[in-house]
A and B are shown apart, each in its own frame.
Chain A
Amino acid sequence: MDKIRKIIHIDMDAFYASIEQLDNPELKGEPVIVGGRPDSRGVVAACSYEARAFGIHSAMPSSKAYQLCPHAFFIRPRMERYREMSQIIMTIFKSYTDVIEPLSLDEAFLDITDTKKKYNSATLLAQEICSSIYEKTGLTASAGVSSNKFVAKIASDLNKPNGISVIPPSEIPLFLEQLPIGKFFGVGKVTEKKMHRYGIYTGADLKKRSSEDLTRLFGKNGRFYFEIVRGIDSRPVRTHRTRKSIGTEKTLGSDTAKIDELESLLSNAAARVAASLMKKDVRCKTVTLKLRYNDFTTITRSKSLPQPIYEVDDLFQISSKLLATTQAGKRKVRLIGLSVSNLLSNDSKGPIQLSLPFPDQPLSSYLNDR
């Protein structure tokens, strides 16, 4: 790719919660939590900035959010409405470029290198897109502009909410050198800690390491970190990207053979996965549990379902059944993970086979009330 690309990452500000505030003016300026009820196992799918001030964030159990802010408004998600709004936003994007990679209902990459508009100043276009979104929907968005996806995505977060930041190619090296290591793409909490242990706190620290060095420390990801800190990210904006799976895993502080401890971790994992499914607006048909015993043998157990699911209770119910088929409780476990695959988009309105409403089968009754 010789030509310098122009990538915009658009990220709606507290999308679901903002729509609720828009549709119900009484909620303006109030802490709004979209997600499960506080007395359920549900999680926060999204929350308004007012709620974030209380330390509430998405994927947090709703019960915890309630403790932090009892007077918050808890609202059940209205996915239909969010999808409708998302459609309006996608239509705006399409008037600028056909190269769009939606990451979820409220987030997308746009490659505007060859924009449909006459002028092609990325900064101006990003401003125009954001104000167009505000005009058509009354919602605000933040945008990041750069020459690759990785930097554009970090940039959109810098002046959030309702702000734009532009990192031109010439500024990328300095920008990345100053960036805390945890903000780098592909660096989660675990890798962040590991980086810290090796004295890598910023992009500059990372840049000092050789490719071989990083490969030795981080395996095949090492090469990726080596490139990305040099601003090398040639991943194209993919218009037909479909995610194959969503998952989360956790290495335990200390190995455990206690089944209730594992179940509680599984409950958290189910909540995170459920929040992620909701954000991506998909359901899953396969649930996979991963366990690593303390002798480092790793096993996975999967269950494929007749009907797609997305609710935290269903995820938890199925994954704990899977847990019961393992040696957890007898052997010590050092890592537990939960992932879902066979993802189906909610808006692809395929036919849905209803289940018999057996009175003693909670899941089947749920499957009937789509």
Chain B
Amino acid sequence: MTLKCTILKNDFIEGLNSLQNITNKRGTLAILSNVHIKTTSNGLVLTGTDLEVGLRLFVPADISNEGSLTLPSKKIFEIVRESGSDEIIIEEIENSWVTIKTGASTYNLAGMGSEEFPAFPEFDEELFTSFEAHTFLDLIDKVIFSIANEQENIYSLTSVLVEKEKKEGNSFLKMVSSDGHRLSIMEKDVAIDIDNFNLNDITLIPKKGIQELKKFCENRDTVDISFEHKQVVIRDGDAVMVIRLKQGEFPQYRAIVDAVSLDNCIKINRIPFLESLKRINLFTEDIFHTIQLQIDGDTMVLTSQNADLGNAKDEQKVEYSGEPLTLGFNCRYFIETLQVMECETVEAYINSNNSPCLMKSEDDKGFVSIIMPMQL
């Protein structure tokens, strides 16, 4: 059978857009740049994969003839995006060539047979737990910014660690990320039973997978999630994403949290501090974004220098009664942490200019950020 169908532009573009990041990875198998299209009785199933993240979506369509094929993901997305018509007609001719008609435009586009396209990973229908999407999203948002980049690190810190814990009958889900210089931990009472989650071994979600999970959750109210032994599956109706988990180790982050003594506390108003940091960051050097914080009594002086520009200074009122401190930090690290926090007053614990700085707040339940200083 040769495929023939009619799709509404808005339906199609939404589906293709979700697949773009997954399908347009360089240097993999040629067919992985294509999106797999298969008809059902009332629509199309679109599938894309980079072998690490797989996404399957349904878009409604009028089916005249059933069939399946694969088309270049980026090109079909562009055709639909530029289409002047609300309706798009796809008709397979032969050898996976298709004719695409949108209004007065006609394209003949070379596709590839669907036989070579990798099978979508199988998953267990029975293991899903239903989540409010924002619960899961909140966990991701609080740690996604401090995952190491592939280039940056010699450890396998390019993933997020996921753990579960039962405390007094309540189930907690926890995500941890670190790039070797800072550490973000977010723990949440998920208010549901997650005994099904296979999180007993070290479970690592690669950075790419976390980014796609985030996108998946962002447009949805509820999602079904299942952690299997080697993959995490997230589902909403007909849309399914399967992410391969990474094997490996994660450093003993708890030892660092335990090692920070919570004696010397600086209390700072979060938003004014954040704004001040953004101002000071205008004059930092590109790579390290170095700033100096001088804290004496209730005053914190922030300064930065840039060889080409000059220097900048700013002041903040703080609550502090310890010894005066002079600290160096990567300004960006503070900005990124303070941006994901929600509290009015942040508590920063630091003992010296070369010991970790721990930040948390009563109003940011479950969140802990640790940042290593810079030696100036």
Contacts and interface: CB of A to CB of B under 8 A. Distances in A.
Interface of A: 303-306, 318, 321, 350-361, 363-364, 368, 370
Contacts of B255: 358-359
Contacts of A363: 154
Interface stretch (B77-85, B164-172, B177-185, B206-214): B177-185
Interface string B238-279: 000000000000011101100100000000000000000000
B259 A306 contact: no
Given A351-B376, A354-B181, A303 B154 contact: yes
B10 interface: no
B154 A305 contact: yes
A357 B259 contact: yes
Interface stretch (B18-26, B28-36, B316-324, B366-374): B366-374
B259 A355 contact: no
Nearest to A350: B288
B330 interface: yes
Given A304-B151, A356-B356, A356-B370, 11 more contacts: A306-B152, A351-B290, A352-B375, A353-B288, A354-B354, A354-B375, A355-B372, A356-B180, A356-B256, A359-B255, A364-B155
B42 interface: no
A363 B155 CA distance: 10
A368 B154 contact: no
B372 A356 contact: yes
B153 interface: yes
B154 A358 contact: no
Nearest to A317: B154
A230 B375 CA distance: 51
Interface string B328-345: 101000000000000000
Contacts of A354: 181, 354, 372-375
B236 to A, nearest CB: 36
Contacts of B182: 356
B374 A352 contact: yes
Interface in B277-291: 288, 290
Interface residues of B, number: 28
**Most B Cβ at <10 Å: residue of A352, A353, A358:** A353
Contacts of B155: 361, 364
A357 B259 CA distance: 10
A352 B252 CA distance: 23
A321 B154 contact: yes
B330 A353 contact: yes
B84 to A, nearest CB: 48
Contacts of A364: 155, 180
Contacts of A360: 251-252
A321 B356 CA distance: 29
Contact of A306 (B181, B256, B354, B370): B181
B179 to A, nearest CB: 8
A303 B354 CA distance: 26
Contacts of A318: 154
B151 A358 contact: no
A318 B154 CA distance: 8
A351 B154 contact: no
Interface in B72-111: none
Contacts of A304: 151
B251 A306 contact: no
A356 B260 CA distance: 11
25 contacts: A304-B151, A306-B153, A306-B154, A306-B181, A351-B288, A352-B374, A353-B288, A353-B372, A354-B372, A355-B181, A355-B372, A356-B180, A356-B181, A356-B183, A356-B256, A356-B370, A356-B372, A357-B256, A357-B356, A358-B251, A358-B252, A359-B251, A359-B255, A360-B252, A363-B154
Interface string B351-372: 0001010000000000000101
Contacts of A361: 155, 251
Given A306-B180, A306-B181, A358-B251, A353 B374 contact: yes
Nearest to A369: B354
Contacts of B290: 351
Contact of B328 (A321, A351, A355): A351
A215 to B, nearest CB: 40
Contact of A356 (B178, B288, B375): B178
Contact of B180 (A321, A351, A355, A370): A355
Contacts of B252: 358-360
A310 to B, nearest CB: 15
A318 B153 CA distance: 11
A351 B356 contact: no
Contacts of A370: 375
Given A353-B372, A370-B375, A358 B354 contact: no
Interface string B301-328: 0000000000000000000000000001
Contact of A351 (B152, B256, B370, B374): B374
Contacts of B152: 306
A304 B152 CA distance: 7
User: Which 4 A-B pairs have CB atoms at the shortest separation, nearest pair first?
Assistant: A358-B251, A354-B372, A351-B374, A351-B290
A352 B330 CA distance: 10
A368 B328 contact: no
Interface string B147-167: 000011111000000000000
